[in-house]
Amino acid sequence: MTAARASLGRTAAAHAILIAYTLIALFPVLLIVINSFKSRNAIFREPLMPPTAETFDLVGYTTVWGQGNFIGYFGNSLTVTVASLFFVLLFGAMAAFALSEYRFRGNTMMGLYLALGIMIPIRLGTVAILQLMVASGLVNTLTALILVYTAQGLPLSIFILSEFMKQVSDDLKNAGRIDGLSEYRIFFRLVLPLVRPAMATVAVFTMIPIWNDLWFPLILAPSEQTKTVTLGAQIFIGQFVTNWNAVLAALSLAIVPVLVLYLIFSRQLIRGITSGAVK
Amino acid sequence: MSNATVIRRPVRWHILVFLAPAVLVYTAVMIIPLFGTLQLSLFRAVDRVPTFVGFDNFRTLFGDPRWSVSFWNALWNNTWFFIIHMLVQNPIGIMIAALLSSSRLRFRAFYRTAIFVPTILSFVIVGFIWKLMLSPLWGVAPNMLDFVGLKFLFAPWLGKEEYALTALSLISVWQFVGIPMMLIYAAMLSIPDEVIEAAEMDGITGMAQFWKIKLPLILPSIGIISILTFVGNFNAFDLIYAAQGALAGPNFSTDILGTFLYRTFFGFQLQLGDPNMGATIASMMFVIILAGVCVYLFAIQTRLRRYQF
């Protein structure tokens, strides 16, 4: 009896703490999104109220639409993220396959060399990266960002993918070899489809920091044509700092796409973490 | 790599083909610039010609009060930033993970998903959200404190020298609690049921079970989140830049190494940017991060006891 009651109390306490923290985590985000749909007066008078028929106002969104080139920024972010992701996954998987499948001299050294970048942030090389990009004429191009993010994402993706590729059965690959498949075909036809879940995990881990990065867009590609959504929002908000409607709308516009992507992929992300990919 | 005359095997070109793209991009865009930056810190532009000056730049950084005051300020602020993360973010993350992993808890997936939401947002968004919420103009923070009868506690935290850095650290904690939560949660799930059942047989439940059974088993994961926090914090920049600008106001009280590097490299207001001093600061950050990683790899990781199940 007492044990059951004690455990009930404990469960209630656990829920109370978790609900409290969930509120702390979500409240600021909800507050911004709710207020972005309200008129300026209502934002200040009753910040905690959801928009009603009288206070509903889209003036913030129309300002953002009229003043900022958000569609362009969005396109840039999408191009950079998708292209970097493609190269990280392709090159990362190829290198991971070479490291996990073949024994050759320098295998371990190569693995350590490629793992170095997991701990040392690429940002520390910024001064020389900028010089490199200036010298090769890539400043203010999306190519510069794609190159940097590819390099940044490779170490972790190689590390995670080679762990997974070690689990692909040797018999399957050898059967392919006996059937006369080339090593390339074995990789693309047999191994890649089998590690697709791991690739999805790596994709999520790689995508979030690229989409959210401010440092490299600010330094390598700050021109109007190449601004990413993160940098665009930062500059837009800096200029419109007193126009609360516009600021709140710009913030909401920046939040929503990431949030939607996260809700779609969250299962994958959590499965990836809990399956021991990052131990 | 494999030489046909030494090993009697045909050169396995496919290994080279598989490795080449990743190694080339990684080497050209990451490793060479990293060492290029270290090298730049040993040069200085004299009449626009790069000249080798040995460790002069480091002597300037530590010896010249105009530099050293800023550097030590940024380093101390950065350390405080890290201490707050270790004292607040990681314990909260561990506590939530422990609650989530207790068996028979309902709505687990919901809590997990919701608490991770801030982590996926960009620093820019997080910085501005909190700037707005803490703004005395809007009054959300004072009103909420009023609601619980603590209004007298309110101050424009981000604008006060003595509170701004702590406030920003806590904002960053709010954003990143999800990472220790997830990693510890994963570690706790991997503890086999038999161990927990054996503990329950012996009457060890609840808090005692956490302290005596689970905590020792997740110590390696705590080591990993500590080093991840360390590297992330000493490399931070975006949040401070988004919330307080490159000047890391008020009066440089929120200046950390990342913002100091940015200002030095690109210049601010009337001061011109200086790539060589920027590279010097980046090299110091490199040394600090490398030292942290080495301490972790050699002192912590080798001493942690790992349990095989």
Nearest to A274 among B125, B143, B186 (CB): B186
How many Cβ contacts (< 8 angstroms) between chains A and B? 255
Mean pLDDT check: name the lowest of A23-32, A200-209, B52-61, B90-99.
A200-209
Nearest to B33 among A44, A132, A155 (CB): A132
Mean pLDDT check: name the lowest of A63-67, A222-226, B31-35, B153-157.
B153-157
pLDDT digits (tens, 9 = 90+) for B178-232: 888 888 888 888 888 888 888 888 888 778 888 888 888 888 888 888 988 999 9
Angle between helical axes of B275-294 and A126-135 (0-180°, round to 10) = 130
**What is the least distance, in Å, from the CA of A54 to any CA of chain B?**
20
Q: What is the mean pLDDT of chain B?
A: 85
pLDDT band at B270 (very low <50, low <70, confident <90, very high): low
| Chain A residue numbers touching B15 (CB-CB < 8 A) | 98, 102, 104
Q: Do B275 and A259 touch (CB under 8 A)?
A: no
Selection from B193, B185, B172 nearest residue B221 by Cα? B185
pLDDT band at A79 (very low <50, low <70, confident <90, very high): very high
DSSP sequence for A182-248: -HHHIIIIIIHHHTHHHHHHHHHHHHHHHHH--HHHHHH--STTT--HHHHHHHHHHHTTT-HHHHH
Mean pLDDT check: name the lowest of A6-10, B42-46, B54-58, B110-114.
A6-10
Angle between helical axes of B108-120 and B161-176 (0-180°, round to 10) = 130
Instruction: Please indicate if any CB of chain A lies within 8 Å of the CB of B26.
Output: yes
Q: Do B116 and A128 touch (CB under 8 A)?
A: no
B6, exposed or middle or buried, with CB in 10 Å at 0-12, 13-18, 19+? exposed
**What is the least distance, in Å, from the CA of B145 to any CA of chain A?**
13
| Chain B residue numbers touching A11 (CB-CB < 8 A) | 104-105
- pLDDT value of residue B4: 46
Q: Are A194 and A168 in contact (CB under 8 A)?
A: yes
Selection from B262, B260, B276 nearest residue B57 by Cα? B276
pLDDT digits (tens, 9 = 90+) for A199-246: 887 887 788 889 888 889 999 998 888 988 888 888 888 887 778 888
Q: Do A14 and B286 touch (CB under 8 A)?
A: no
Instruction: Please indicate if any CB of chain A lies within 8 Å of the CB of B156.
Output: no
Strand B49-52 to B267-268 pairing: unpaired
List the domains of chain A with CATH numbers.
2-60 (no CATH), 68-239 (1.10.3720.10)
Give, as one character, the DSSP assignment of residue B43. Answer: E
List the domains of chain B with CATH numbers.
15-54 (no CATH), 70-300 (1.10.3720.10)
Phi-psi region of B115 (alpha: psi -120 to 50; beta: other; left: phi over 0): alpha
- pLDDT value of residue A279: 39
Q: Do B22 and A32 touch (CB under 8 A)?
A: no
pTM for the whole thing? 0.85
pLDDT for A273 beyond 70: no
**What is the least distance, in Å, from the CA of B165 to any CA of chain A?**
20
Percentage of chain B modeled with pLDDT above 70: 94
Q: Do A213 and B238 touch (CB under 8 A)?
A: yes
**What is the least distance, in Å, from the CA of A269 to any CA of chain B?**
10
Assembly ipTM? 0.84
CA B180, CA A39: separation in Å to the nearest integer?
39
pLDDT band at A263 (very low <50, low <70, confident <90, very high): confident
pLDDT for B1 beyond 60: no
Q: How far is CA A244 from CA A62, A158, A250, B137, in A?
A: 13, 44, 10, 11
Residue of A nearest to B286 (CA): A124
pLDDT for A126 beyond 70: yes
- pLDDT value of residue B309: 59
pLDDT digits (tens, 9 = 90+) for B71-124: 999 999 999 999 999 999 999 999 999 888 876 778 888 888 888 889 888 888
Instruction: Please indicate if any CB of chain A lies within 8 Å of the CB of B300.
Output: no
**What is the least distance, in Å, from the CA of A105 to any CA of chain B?**
7
**What is the least distance, in Å, from the CA of B115 to any CA of chain A?**
5
Nearest to A154 among B25, B111, B189 (CB): B25
Structure tokens, A260: 């939607």
Q: Do B121 and A43 touch (CB under 8 A)?
A: no
Q: What is the mean pLDDT of residues A264-275?
A: 69
pLDDT for A277 beyond 50: no
Structure tokens, A194: 């089998």
